[in-house]
Amino acid sequence: MEGSLVLEDGTAIRGAFFGARRKVFGELVFNTNMTGYTEALTDPSYHGQILMMTYPLIGNYGVDPESMESETIQPTGFVVKEACAVPSHPKSALSLADFLKAHETPAMEGADTRALTIKIRSKGTMKAALVPATEHLETVAREVRTAPHPETRNLVAEVSCREVERYPGVGKRTIVVVDCGVKRNIIREAQRYADVIRVPFNATSDDILGLKPDGVILSNGPGDPAHPEILATSVKATKELAGRTPILGICLGHQLLALAFGGTTFKLKFGHRGGNQPVKDLRTGRVHITSQNHGFAVDADSLPSSEFEVTHLNLNDGTVEGMAHRELPIFSVQYHPEARPGPWDNEYIFRDFVAELKGA
C-alpha cells in the first residue's frame, strides 16, 4: 500500500496510500484548519490541486455526507501526517479512507507535513504527483516538471453546473448565484433570505436579468480568474450587470468584480487556505477571523479609486480582502462569509447584501 508524493523540484516522499491507488497530478497546497476536512475535500475551489492538511491527525470523526460542500471530492489527491482508521462520531457514516475510495481519490499518510508546509511557504506552491510505489520516481519527477499547470485549464467550467437550478428560500425575493464553483453553504445562507437560482458560470447578463433577480452573487471557484475563457464569459457578464442589479462577490467572485472594472489580479506565493486568517474592516476598525481558500488576489493599486474603495485588508500580508463601489450597490470579500469550516464572524456580509437588494 506504499506510494510517493513527488514534487516538481525533485523531492520525493514515501508514505502509505489509504485512498484509491492511482497516479494523479496537481498543485500541492496546504490548509491550516484543525477540523473540516470533509468540507475542504468537497470545496470546488480545490479542483485541480493536491490538498495537504497541516493538522497532524485527520479523519478522527469520520465523514458525514451532510457536511459535503459539493457532490464529489474536488482535489485530485490528499496528503496527511496521520489518518485515523477508526473514527468516532455519532454522525459518522463512513471512514475517511472509505470516503476517498468511493470517490476514487488517492491519499497518502506518513508525510512530514510540517516540513512540506515550510517548503511551500519558502518556495511557493508547486506542481506535484501522488503515485503508487510501482512508479519510477525519476520518470514521475520529469512528468511533473513538464506537465501543464492545472490553472492553464478552465477549472471553473469543470466544476460549474450545466443548467439552471432552483432552490426555494425564505421571503419574496430572488437571488441569482453565478456558479463558478459554489459551495453549498453559500446557497444555504442565501436561502435564509430569498429564493435562489443557480446559473452556470457562462450565463450571459441577459440570461441572468431574464430571471428577474433582486440581487446577484458571484461565487467562489478554482483557478485563474483572468483565464481567457473566464474573461470572455463571467467577467463580461459582471461588467454588463453593474448598475442593473446589486452584486456580491465572494472569493473568486471578488476577483471577477475587480477584473470587470479594469483591475488586475496576481498569484500569491502560497495562497490563503484555512480558518484562521485575520481580516481588518477598515470602515469599523474591527478585526474578523475568517475562512479562506484562494491562490490569487486583487492588486489594490489597479482598482479605479474613483469607483472602488478597499474595505478589508488581510493583516498577515496586507492583501485586499474586500472592496465596495462608491455609488452602486456592489461589494465583495475575498474570504468566505459562509464559513464551513471556519468562524461565523462574517455572516453579516449576507445581511448587508440583503439590505441592498431591490425593494429592501
Contact 261, 239 (CB under 8 A): yes
Helix (H, G, I), strand (E, B) or coil at 42: coil
Q: Would you call 161 a catalytic residue per the annotation?
A: no
Measured CA to CA, the distance from residue 192 to residue 186 in angstroms comes to 10
Question: What residues pair up with 63 in beta bridges, in sequence order?
Answer: 94
- H or E segment to which residue 265 belongs: strand 265-281
Other CB atoms within 10 Å distance of the CB of residue 321: 28
List the catalytic residue out of 27, 180, 251, 321. Answer: 251
Q: Would you call 251 a catalytic residue per the annotation?
A: yes
List the catalytic residue out of 227, 288, 294, 336. Answer: 336
Q: Helices marked H in the chain — which ranges?
A: 37-41, 96-102, 113-123, 137-146, 155-159, 184-191, 205-209, 228-230, 236-241, 252-260, 348-356
Q: What are phi and psi of 232, to 5 degrees?
A: -80, -15
Other CB atoms within 10 Å distance of the CB of residue 86: 8
Q: Would you call 312 a catalytic residue per the annotation?
A: no
Residue 58, Cβ density class (10 Å: 0-12 exposed, 13-18 middle, ≥19 buried): buried
First to last CA, the chain: 58
Give catalytic residue positions: 251, 336, 338
